[in-house]
Structure 1
Amino acid sequence: METNRHHCERRPAALALVLAVCLMVWTPTAVRAGPPAVFDGRPTLVIVYETTPNPPRHLGEGTAIDWGRPGLTIELLKLVGERLRVNLDFKRVPWKRGLLLLETGEADAIFHSSYVAEREAIGAYPKTASGEPDARRAIFTQSYVLFVTKDSGVTWDGATLGGLGGRPVGATAGYSVVRDLERSGVAVQPGRVPALNLAKLLEGRIAAYAELEGLADQIIRQDAELFRQVVKLQPPLITKPYYLMLSRPFVARDPALAEAVWDALAEVRASEEFRKLEDLYAGGS
């Protein structure tokens, strides 16, 4: 490191070039910071994702995007854009609105979408040669977990849900777990806002709350009362691969690019560059 510092000091004639090199040596995380690269004359993909954070996959709340630390999925897609030399335009909207924008073709892609057969009417998933959803080309895998109060008496053994006492299970409206629970014969009370759903749990208005593990964990850690009173049951309720779903108009317009995007997701996700980003986010850097 001493050699690099000396090199930076003794070549003032090439200050701009050397400064860039020094920044790469001293602040490697800055290389990935910032909005997506721009490629003149290349296609632009409008990608929507929800306003609720899902750490570490996407961070922050509301419509703003912190380009210094947007989340692992945004980092992954930025690398895909660079590999394919396509422009990416990210927008944050509520989940159900994002699905509507995908259906109308106002958005080209949405994440994170688990496979739901009914959603194929509004968008496309990567498929295997046999026509099944291709988990190899998913963005990642995550779990829904049941959250309960400590003295609730609700039980879950991986197969049977008991102790509900006639009360419904809460879940976020529009999420696939609502349909999963209803198909199992469980009464569900959908709610739009995860924090309010957890408040319902504390008030006893729902017996349990089914939510994405990382999303609910983040809310619970930030609220002292929730942290004291809410626990999660194991094993997970369900674990699924989550995809970048593409709009039907986009796939019809450029099917080769659609397949290239899904292929690049799998390739970048397995790359050393992305593994380093995973380490950075896991370490809180």
Structure 2
Amino acid sequence: MRYAARLLCIMLLACLSPLALAERLRLVSDDWAPYVYLEQGQAKGIDYEVTTQVFRRLGVEVDWQFMPWKRCLAMVEQGLTDGVMDIFRVESREAFLVYPEEPMSHVEFVLFQDRNRPHAVTHLGDLAGLSVGISSGYTYGKAFSESSAFKRESAPTHEANFGKLIRGRVDLVVTDRLVGRYLRRQLGLEQQVEELPLVISRQAQYLGLTRTPEHQLLAQAFTEELRRFKQERAYTAIIERYTGGSASPSDAVEQHEHSMPR
């Protein structure tokens, strides 16, 4: 089976036009640490490293650009780039995006609060009367996004949301579990900011490629190589390097609300 999958991958790449492989693939993303982000001008992250390894094996070179998430979405919808990293699969995007079948990772949107101003939150109804910091361009599920029981306050960056939290400008912040843990550690807030157990939503995130015949073939080849790479120790080592071995992007959860697109 492994030989057959490898042969299929080679055949798919052979079908790609020489022009498509001669040019570097242009991918966009926002700062979404620890999945993909810029640090001192250097691209890093779990999904960045995994994608780089997979494309290297496929013989494809990649150029990365980082920008706000709304602009990332506009770029791929208008065909101004070749793809976007860590995007949710939703029907409205099928017209202009094609995805590998294998996800890069999974996100779990949870709430973070200041230990000095705790709130008892076990379900969305407990947010009544509170203000929750959200990130511009993100959605967290219909029930959360359309509720009139609490206020949603947008911030341009995830760091800005945590700044508002510790200054008392919002009561809670919603973000992915690993993203929140990473920021808490980077900002020196591990003793002040705590994570709540309720999972607002959970969703797989993918590499999205602009819909062209070449990219459809590339998505298939990427799927096979990504699945193979996930079976290797090198894949686990990447995750452990960014999470300290405390969590995996594909951890399962028991309790979650209906999820919506990033």
Query: Could you tell me the TM-score, scaled by structure 2's length?
Result: 0.73
Residue identity matched to 1:139: M
* 1:37-52 pair list within 5 angstroms: 42-50=22-30, 52=31
| Cα distance in structure 2, aligned partners of 1:81 and 1:174 | 28
- Larger Cα Rg: Structure 1 or Structure 2? 1
Segments of 5+ residues of structure 1 without an aligned counterpart are 1-39, 127-133
Which residue pairs with 1:9 in the alignment?
none
Residue identity matched to 1:231: E
| Cα distance in structure 2, aligned partners of 1:43 and 1:180 | 43
Which residue pairs with 2:33 in the alignment?
54
> Helix, strand or coil: the match of 1:270?
coil
Matched, 1:113 2:90: no
Which residue pairs with 2:184 in the alignment?
220
Matched, 1:79 2:88: no
| Cα distance in structure 2, aligned partners of 1:206 and 1:178 | 20
257-266 vs 40-49, which moves further: 40-49
* 1:223-242 pair list within 5 angstroms: 223-224=187-188, 226-242=189-205
User: Is the Cα–Cα contact under 8 Å of residues 98 and 215 in structure 2 kept in the other structure?
Assistant: no
Give the superposition deviation at 1:207: 2.4
Matched, 1:96 2:59: no
| Cα distance in structure 2, aligned partners of 1:41 and 1:200 | 45
Residue identity matched to 2:26: V
Segments of 5+ residues of structure 2 without an aligned counterpart are 1-19, 246-262
User: Is the Cα–Cα contact under 8 Å of residues 27 and 84 in structure 2 kept in the other structure?
Assistant: yes
> Helix, strand or coil: the match of 2:42?
coil
Q: Percent identity?
A: 25
RMSD: 3.0
Cα separation, partners in 2 of 1:194 and 1:179, compared to 1, 3 Å = farther
Give the superposition deviation at 1:245: 1.2
| Cα distance in structure 2, aligned partners of 1:221 and 1:271 | 28
Give the superposition deviation at 1:192: 1.2
- Decide which of 30, 42, 55 is 1:65's aligned counterpart: 42
| Cα distance in structure 2, aligned partners of 1:184 and 1:115 | 23
Give the superposition deviation at 1:170: 1.4
- Decide which of 153, 157, 177 is 2:140's aligned counterpart: 177
| Deviation by residue 1:16-62 (Cα, 9 ceiling, x = unmatched) | xxxxxxxxxxxxxxxxxxxxxxxx96353211121x2512x234447
Matched, 1:255 2:180: no
| Cα distance in structure 2, aligned partners of 1:279 and 1:199 | 27
For CA contacts below 8 A with separation 6 or more, give which structure has more relative contact order. Answer: 2
Residue identity matched to 1:124: V
Count, aligned residues: 226
User: Is the Cα–Cα contact under 8 Å of residues 83 and 207 in structure 2 kept in the other structure?
Assistant: yes
- Decide which of 164, 168, 171 is 1:200's aligned counterpart: 164
| Cα distance in structure 1, aligned partners of 2:42 and 2:200 | 31
User: Is the Cα–Cα contact under 8 Å of residues 171 and 178 in structure 1 kept in the other structure?
Assistant: no
User: Is the Cα–Cα contact under 8 Å of residues 105 and 204 in structure 2 kept in the other structure?
Assistant: yes
| Cα distance in structure 2, aligned partners of 1:183 and 1:282 | 32
Give the superposition deviation at 1:146: 0.3
| Cα distance in structure 2, aligned partners of 1:171 and 1:75 | 27
- Decide which of 91, 96, 115 is 1:150's aligned counterpart: 115
User: Is the Cα–Cα contact under 8 Å of residues 161 and 173 in structure 2 kept in the other structure?
Assistant: yes
| Cα distance in structure 1, aligned partners of 2:32 and 2:174 | 16
Residue identity matched to 1:212: D
Give the superposition deviation at 1:150: 2.2
> Helix, strand or coil: the match of 2:140?
helix
Query: Could you tell me the TM-score, scaled by structure 1's length?
Result: 0.67
Cα separation, partners in 2 of 1:102 and 1:81, compared to 1, 3 Å = same
Give the superposition deviation at 1:180: 5.7
> Helix, strand or coil: the match of 1:138?
coil
Cα separation, partners in 2 of 1:45 and 1:188, compared to 1, 3 Å = same
User: Is the Cα–Cα contact under 8 Å of residues 42 and 85 in structure 1 kept in the other structure?
Assistant: no
> Helix, strand or coil: the match of 2:137?
coil
| Cα distance in structure 1, aligned partners of 2:157 and 2:238 | 29
**Structure with greater helix percent:** 1
